[in-house]
Chains A and B, each alone.
Chain A
Amino acid sequence: MFSLRRYRKILEEYNVFERCAKCGTCTYVYGSWAPACPAFNEFKFLTYSLGGKLLLAWGYLNGRLKLDQDIARVFYSCTLCGNCAYQCQITETDGTRPIKLYAITLLEAMRKELVRVGLGPMPEQKRVWDWILKEHNPYMAKHEDRSLWFPKDVVKGLPEKAEIVYFVGCTSAYIETEIIDATMRILNRLKVDYTILKDEWCCGLPLIRTGAPSQLVDEVVNHNIAAIEDAGADMIVTSCPGCYRVWKEDLADRHDFKVMHTVELVAEAIERGELTFKKPLKAKVTYHDPCDLGRHCGVFEPPRKILKSIPGVELIEMERSRENSWCCGAGGAVAFWLPEFTMNTACERIREAEETGASLLVSACPGCAMTLKNAIKEKGSRIMFRDITELILEHL
């Protein structure tokens, strides 16, 4: 959530702007040369690659380019998946890779700048902002309906105050509602002291990723922090990588809560021998790394550990996995205004999943679940999708 002006200093120290020569490496997975950048893949012009955007930023900061609506569209047509930054090989003698470290924050800072000058976000995203501030979710749903799909029997037994807050997130609350059920029952099985917030609001992701001014972000963030403090918790668990990254990275200097994704909690329990899977799953399974969980937060191993612990599972990696994972297409809040781009990107992921010969595609993200399930339908694919929380619960 840096502003471009604050961020400029860091970028200049590493000379990030000067060092890009739009060479195009960031559009490929380095070494296997599979496509890496969904935006470039969809829109084709160089402009949409990371290099293109870095040079647009350079042009703007050096007074060679005036921001306009078309430039804004380029910056908002990016899933912020971060694959590009991993592929650029620009390296310091000590091994530091400045583009990898700073490019994505720069893309976000540019969005913030576009908002500052009145060119961002895109109108559809602006409607989402307004809705979040009014009804505290981005899906045009009523706030009062947020808990409609929560498993009543489980919720009933939750304490008012607890060590852990399960932060549900909007996508689970309104769309991928099975994830709530699964997560809560897993938490019960783990016998952890947890509760849910009486009045949870959107974590603020759609605001943060689209460059909303700090005061808007603060409105939702302050509410949630106060609610968590009220619940007496010192830890947040979530099954949503979007919320996870917001709490763990974006808001790191705003709270002292420990933040964990469900897969981390479960993997630790498996490690300690506190959780074993009894029911086997005889299937070839492939795992999709959500960008917010994998590339952005470095959580690659726990979901794999879980899947490998289910008896009978044969885990087959897709060609692009872990750091090189192809985005599902919904990141960076693009799905709100470029549904076709999201769908095409998701269909490409389904194609890749099919290529492994797996019958089951698993991920650990309600956003990816929504997008990939839509793509499976669109393509008429025979592959099945399950969120990892559901799989965990079914095979305990």
Chain B
Amino acid sequence: MELYEQIVSIVGSKYVSDRAPELFLYSWDFMTTEPPGKPQLVVMPKDVEEVQAIVRLANRAGVPVIPYVQGTSVAGLTNPNEGGIVMDLKRMNKVLEVNEEDMYAVVEAGITQAQLKRHLDKNHPSLRFAYTWGPPGAGVLPALLNQGFLDLSLRYGSAESMINGLEVVLPTGEVVRIGSCSVSPYWFTRNPLPDLMGLFIGWQGTTGIVTKAGIKLFTKFPYQEIYCVDSMDVESGFKAQILIAKADIADDICSENWAWSKMSSGYKLPFEREEGEPELYTTVVISANTEKELEAKEEILKDICNRVGVRVYKFKEILPTLPKGHQYADAYVNFPIQISNDWDGARGGSLQWVGVYIPNSLLAEAYRRVEKIYQQHGFLMFAYNRMMDHGHSGIIRFSTCAWKKHDERGRKAVRRLMMKVAETLLELGGVIYKPPPWAARMNLKRADPYTVELMRRVKKLLDPNRVMNPGKWDL
């Protein structure tokens, strides 16, 4: 039997395709410089048993399998570099349980931010989860599995720390459970067993397919205020961010440089920094149980900003003056949001970034070094950063947009720039997150050789036939 027929016998013909429209759509992210692949099939399983059967089949036949929810990683992580079966998990979108008391949800792997938000709002309005700024249609789990960053990452840690437990189909077809759910009926913690979570986190779908996850939920605070902190140079901006993080008063601290801010406002390139325009726009989100608590936190914030010499004001004060196309206006209050200006605002319709986890003390230097590279390459630099985990770490990402999807020369130029940026940030001490294949290789080149060897062994052990999303983390 042909592979197609075999897969049809597992999921039914409605949910398998080897037809041109699906093969085209699932070949590429339609956003980045990462090259498209050539999938053989696209399949949409409905449950863990179907995932298992497909993976067993693929493993026997040596055919790659690429887990997929919306393909919006901004790193081409679902482009099928070596062909194979793209497994779109969006039919597995159920919320299996919400435990209000213990504040967690058990969800299937294909659930999107929009779907989980809707479920919680309708059934558990006092609870929320932590969001990426990714599209509403993006999966909840991909960001967690790939160490993304969330609107609550300053307070509660980077995205993977939201995971209490996982159910995973191994590349050889067995199903494993990780965390308390492997012992107990409750998906309430990943402790206190040896933490096997790391076998599946940060691996870009190369060590197995997660089918369920227990994820943390949080109570919504009754008081919240969003503040803008504008600084004329990034040095003072980052300094203020670090002090605010250390004061432990905020849920979120993130920033855009002036160019990113213009892009998210919907401006069309070319644009320049105007006279008197701040270089860095920082957003600080503060929540509280009482008005008094909010006032006290605001006082601390203002004090820090005064000391550093940066301007602070409430976001709502400038809301009416924002351009109509500004898409952040709704953020924080109404996650998730479609911040499409981030990929099309400058009218290119394309986007790629290099982002690193970085010690916050290096943020300003990273900014200045990368700025020079952008100037040398003749591109405008879009920069964004976020404080993570009470200020213990941070991320900064540098992006480029405004080349058209079909513009091969533009694509190549951006690619060269991105590689140079990645190199510079690694040199400085950063580590590239959600790296596309070339950046993953750069990470590995600098990594301790025994670390790489251990990774290789782990990968070999879990995926002996190298079927899981090959081309990513190519060990």
- Residues on A lying within 8 angstroms of B by beta carbon are 15, 17-25, 27-28, 30-34, 43-47, 52, 55-56, 58-59, 62, 64-66, 68, 70-71, 74, 88-95
Please determine whether B20 and A28 come into contact, CB atoms closer than 8 angstroms.
no
Additional 18 contacts, C-beta under 8 A, given A21-B344, A23-B137, A25-B338: A15-B344, A18-B344, A18-B349, A22-B25, A22-B30, A23-B340, A27-B137, A28-B136, A45-B88, A47-B22, A58-B405, A65-B24, A70-B21, A89-B337, A90-B344, A91-B340, A93-B323, A93-B325
Check B91 for interface membership: any CB of A closer than 8 A: yes
CB of B210 to closest CB in A, whole Å: 20
A23 CA / B337 CA spacing, docked (Å): 11
Interface residue? B393 (CB, 8 A): no
CA distance A341 to B137 in the complex (A): 23
CB pair A21 B343 closer than 8 Å = yes
- Interface flags, B315-335, vs A, CB<8A=1, else 0: 000000001110100000010
Residue contact A89 to B348, C-beta cutoff 8 Å: no
Q: Which 5 A-B pairs have the closest CB atoms?
A: A24-B137, A18-B349, A95-B324, A23-B135, A19-B344
**Is B112 part of the binding interface, using a Cβ–Cβ cutoff of 8 Å?**
yes
Closest to B74 in A: A21
Q: Of the candidates B17, B20, B340, B349, which one forms a contact with A45 in the assembled complex, judged by CB atoms under 8 Å apart?
A: B17
B395 close to chain A: CB less than 8 A: no
Task: Please tell me if B114 contacts chain A, counting CB pairs below 8 Å.
Answer: yes
For A22, the chain B residues whose CB sits under 8 A away are: 25, 30, 70-72
Task: Determine the chain B residues whose CB is within 8 A of the CB of A74 once the complex forms.
Answer: 21
| Complex contact B138–A56 (CB within 8 A) | no
The complex places the Cα of A24 from the Cα of B30 at a distance, in Å, of 13
- 8 Å CB contact of B338 from A17, A56, A88: A88
Bound-complex Cα distance A368 to B169 (A): 45
A22-B30, A91-B341, A95-B325 in contact; A31/B138 too (CB < 8 A)? Answer: no
User: Which residues of A lie under 8 Å from residue B15 when comparing CB positions?
Assistant: 44
> What residues of B have a CB within 8 angstroms of the CB of A88 in the complex?
338, 340
A31 to B118, CA, bound (A): 9
Q: Are A25 and B24 in contact (CB under 8 A)?
A: no
A19 and B340 in contact, given A24-B112, A92-B325 (Cβ under 8 angstroms): yes
Cα distance A94–B325 in the bound complex, in angstroms? 7
B349 near A93: Cβ-Cβ < 8 Å: no
Q: Which residue of the partner chain A has the closest CB to B46? A: A44
CB distance from B263 to the nearest CB of A (A): 11
Q: A25-B136, A44-B44, A52-B21 are in contact. Are A18 and B327 (CB under 8 A)?
A: no
With contacts A52-B25, A66-B20, A91-B341 taken as known, whether A15 is within 8 angstroms of B135 at the C-beta atoms is: no
Q: Would you call B350 and A46 a contact (CB within 8 A)?
A: no
In contact, A91 and B266 (Cβ under 8 angstroms) = yes
What's the Cα separation between A93 and B329 when bound, in Å?
13
Residues of the A chain whose Cβ atoms lie less than 8 Å from the Cβ of B338: 23, 25, 30, 88-89
Whole-angstrom distance between the alpha carbons of A365 and B107 in the complex? 40
- Counting CB contacts under 8 A, is B404 at the interface? yes
B256 within 8 A of A: no
Q: List residues of chain A with CB within 8 A of the CB of B91.
A: 44
Chain B residues with CB below 8 A from A65, complex form = 20, 24
Residue of A nearest to B32 (CB): A21
Q: Provide the residues of chain B in CB contact with A56, threshold 8 Å.
A: 21, 24-25
Whether A34 lies near B327 (C-beta < 8 A) is no
Q: Which residues of B have CB within 8 Å of A62?
A: 405-406
Contacts of A15 in B (CB 8 A): 344, 347, 349
A18 / chain B contacts, CB cutoff of 8 Å: 344, 347-350, 404-405
| B349 in contact with A21 (CB, 8 Å) | yes
Q: Is B115 an interface residue (CB 8 A)?
A: yes
**A94:B324 contact, CB within 8 angstroms:** yes
Query: Which chain A positions have C-beta within 8 A of B344?
Result: 15, 18-19, 21, 90
* A56 (CB) vs chain B CBs: closest residue: B21
Give every chain A residue within 8 A of B349 (Cβ-Cβ). 15, 17-21
Task: Return B24 CB to nearest CB of chain A, in Å.
Answer: 5
What are 27 inter-chain pairs, A to B, with CB distance below 8 A?
A15-B344, A15-B347, A15-B349, A18-B349, A21-B30, A21-B31, A21-B135, A22-B70, A23-B136, A23-B138, A23-B340, A24-B138, A25-B338, A45-B88, A46-B25, A47-B21, A56-B21, A58-B30, A62-B406, A65-B24, A71-B20, A90-B344, A93-B265, A93-B266, A93-B323, A95-B324, A95-B325
B251 within 8 A of A: no
Q: Which B-chain residue is minimally distant from A75 (CB atoms)?
A: B21
Partner of B118, one of A33, A70, A71: A33
Contact of A92 among B14, B29, B112, B266 (CB under 8 A): B266
Using known A-B contacts A33-B118, A46-B26, A93-B267, determine if residue A24 contacts B136 with beta carbons closer than 8 Å: yes
Choose among B19, B21, B117 the residue that contacts A33 (Cβ–Cβ < 8 A). B117
Is B90 engaged at the interface, CB distance under 8 Å to the other chain? yes
Distance A302 CA – B154 CA, assembled complex (angstroms): 50
Is the CB–CB distance between B21 and A34 below 8 Å?
no
Residues in A whose Cβ lies below 8 Å from that of B343: 19, 21
Q: Are A89 and B340 in contact (CB under 8 A)?
A: yes
Chain B minimum-CB-distance residue to A43? B14
A32 near B20 with CB under 8 A, answer no
B42 within 8 A of A: yes
Report whether A45 and B266 are in contact in the complex, using a CB–CB cutoff of 8 Å.
no
Chain A residue at smallest Cβ distance from B327: A89
In whole Å, how far is B230's beta carbon from the nearest beta carbon of chain A? Answer: 20
Chain A: which residue is nearest B117 at the CB level?
Answer: A33
Chain A residues closer than 8 Å to B72, beta-carbon distance: 21-24
Residue of B nearest to A54 (CB): B30
Assess whether B334 is in contact with A31, with CB atoms less than 8 Å apart: yes
Residues of A within 8 A of B324 (CB): 91-95
A58 to B323, CA, bound (A): 29
Min Cβ gap B137→A in Å is 2
* In contact, B112 and A68 (Cβ under 8 angstroms): no
B117-A45 in contact (CB<8A): no
Question: What are the interface flags for B77-118 relative to A under an 8 Å C-beta threshold, 1 for contact and 0 otherwise?
Answer: 000000000001011000000000000000000001011011
A34 → chain B, closest Cβ, in Å? 7
CB-CB contacts below 8 Å: B339-360 with A = 340-341, 343-344, 347-351
**Which residue among A27, A46, A68, A71 has the maximum number of chain B CB atoms within 10 Å of its CB?**
A46
Q: In the complex, which of the residues B115, B137, B325 contacts A25, with contact meaning CB atoms closer than 8 Å?
A: B137
Complex interface: chain A residues within 8 A of B136 (CB) = 23-25, 28, 30, 33
Residues in B with CB closer than 8 Å to A90 are 340-341, 344
Report how far A17 CA is from B338 CA in the complex, Å: 17
Q: How far in angstroms is the closest Cβ of chain A from B20?
A: 5
The residue on B at minimum CB distance from A89 is: B338
The contact string, 1 if C-beta is below 8 Å from chain A, for chain B 13-56, is 01101011110111001110000000000101000000000000
**Contact in complex: B29, A21 (CB < 8 Å):** yes
The residue in chain B whose Cβ has the minimal distance to the Cβ of A90 is B340
Complex CA–CA separation, A92 to B325 (angstroms): 5
Residue of chain A at shortest CB distance from B42: A45
- Give bound CA distance, A66 to B91, whole Å: 29
